[in-house]
Amino acid sequence: MRETNFFCGKKILVCGMARSGQSAALALVEMGADVTATDLRCDVPLPFNPSDKGIKCRFGEPPDYFVGDFELVVISPSISVYSSFIVKAGELCIPVWSEVELAYRLCPCPMVAITGTNGKTTVTTLVGEILKRHNPGAVVAGNIGIPLTGLVTELTESDIAVAEISSFQLETIAAFKPAVCAVLNVTPDHLDRHHTMEVYSAAKARIFENQRQNDLTVLNYDNHVTKKMKPPGRVIFFSARERLEQGVFARGGKVFVSDVFGLGSDTPVFDLSETRVMTENALAAVALSLAANAPLSLIQDVLRDFKGVPHRLEFVASINGVDFYNDSKATNVDAAIKGLEYFSAPLVLIAGGYDKKTDFAPWVKCFEHSVSHLILIGQTAETIASLCDEVGFNKYETAESLINAVDRAKALAQHGQTVLLSPACASFDMFADFEERGDLFKKYVNEAT
């Protein structure tokens, strides 16, 4: 284990007691730390009794009043670095870590870390499936739903951890250094939290800031932000648009690897018609898996078998000749545009949700050729409707709830059409998360109107 003795006897404050906070608190207690858990909620539902685990609790109290009593603060991704108690901790020179920084300190094995605005859950899951077949000790965790700290303490040096990492988690790393990492793309998102694209891009770039010369970063050659990134280690580009002298690229419906990973120029790898994975995601997964020493034949097998991830262009049902797809994970404009591009014929689109201060204009401009009818829900419905008016797209209406939107979509869709939930927005105005939104969509689709 790395640095396990570092935590013994230290007074540590864990802030935010959702999944990652719970996991961090339990891991720190196991390392002998003096742990206090805090949450702004007074009544925090926990699957265990904190006192039984040796965890003290200060729920419902602003941490500003007692953060100075601790030697280290570990925060949930939902907590902004601009929070007053985080600022105060900085003024007092108290380190503030994300849960993934803690997990890295406890992880004994190499880590493959994946970030990006879009595609990271699919790529993380896909790479995880490949590496699990290659190494039975491989685990998949992080922002994908399973906290890293819940798994790393049981890993050995011969294992490998595959982690989805968000910009929120990267804001407060210190030593975090994956052996292999990727920034899949950077497009406008989370500007309600990061405020500017420059700050958002810088947060994403932190994934490789501690890497050394022998470490490897996979970057998207087609994305203008990632193309300009300068990691300190070795860089492998992937491209869905251009042939690369060195890297992984698509051409003529096939994936090629050129002059990397011991493979010669323009080595054919895979026919994209054999997989359901979007091209960019397939290219990134090939690069990351080869970087982690997975055999090419195994990569090909998993790409053929992979069925996708829940809530990302997930087929739900075919009812009276109408196909329903759940793309609830499309929580930003770029993801929603890719969702529209996935289908060849105009569809009935359900969209809208929590406002992350996003510019919806590039997405709305796609509606004329991609959408036969738009049903808007949530906080952003009025904003999106106004943009539709500006571009002359008038085939829209609003619905008070998701169930009403699904009922209207069923009534509007013609035989042979597709109904797609692809919100281009977060879910927090109406739902706990995008999973709840997607699960309810699937439930309403399969219920009789």
3-state secondary structure 298-317: HHHHHHHHCCCCCCCCEEEE
Sheet harboring 267-271: ordered strands across? 138-142, 160-164, 111-115, 180-183, 216-220, 234-239, 247-251, 254-258, 267-271
Q: Render pLDDT for 225-275 as a digit per residue (tens, 0 to 9).
A: 999 999 999 999 999 999 999 999 999 999 999 999 999 999 999 999 999
CATH 3.40.50.720 maps onto the chain at 6-94
Residue with tokens 């406008």: 188
pLDDT computed for residue 190 by the predictor: 80
Which residues in 16-165 belong to E strands, given as ranges? 34-39, 56-59, 72-75, 96-98, 111-115, 138-142, 160-164
Residue 420 is inside which H or E element, if any? Answer: strand 418-421
Which residues lie closer than 8 Å to 122 by C-beta, 6 or more apart? 277, 278, 281, 308, 309, 312
Whole-structure pTM value = 0.90
What is the rounded average pLDDT of the residues 17-40?
96
CATH fold of 108-305 reads: UDP-N-acetylmuramoyl-L-alanine:D-glutamate ligase (3.40.1190)
CATH fold of 314-445 reads: Protein-Tyrosine Phosphatase; Chain A (3.90.190)
pLDDT of residue 140 exceeding 90, the answer is yes
pLDDT computed for residue 145 by the predictor: 79
pLDDT band at 189 (very low <50, low <70, confident <90, very high): confident
CA 115/CA 269 separation, integer angstroms: 24
CA 98/CA 168 separation, integer angstroms: 8
Q: For 26, left (φ over 0), alpha (ψ -120 to 50), or beta?
A: alpha
pLDDT computed for residue 251 by the predictor: 97
Residue 12 is inside which H or E element, if any? Answer: strand 11-15
pLDDT of residue 2 exceeding 80, the answer is no
What is the rounded average pLDDT of the residues 71-90?
96
CA 78/CA 64 separation, integer angstroms: 17
Architecture (CATH level 2) of domain 6-94? 3-Layer(aba) Sandwich (3.40)
pLDDT computed for residue 194 by the predictor: 82
CATH 3.40.1190.10 maps onto the chain at 108-305
CATH 3.90.190.20 maps onto the chain at 314-445
pLDDT band at 217 (very low <50, low <70, confident <90, very high): very high
pLDDT computed for residue 144 by the predictor: 87
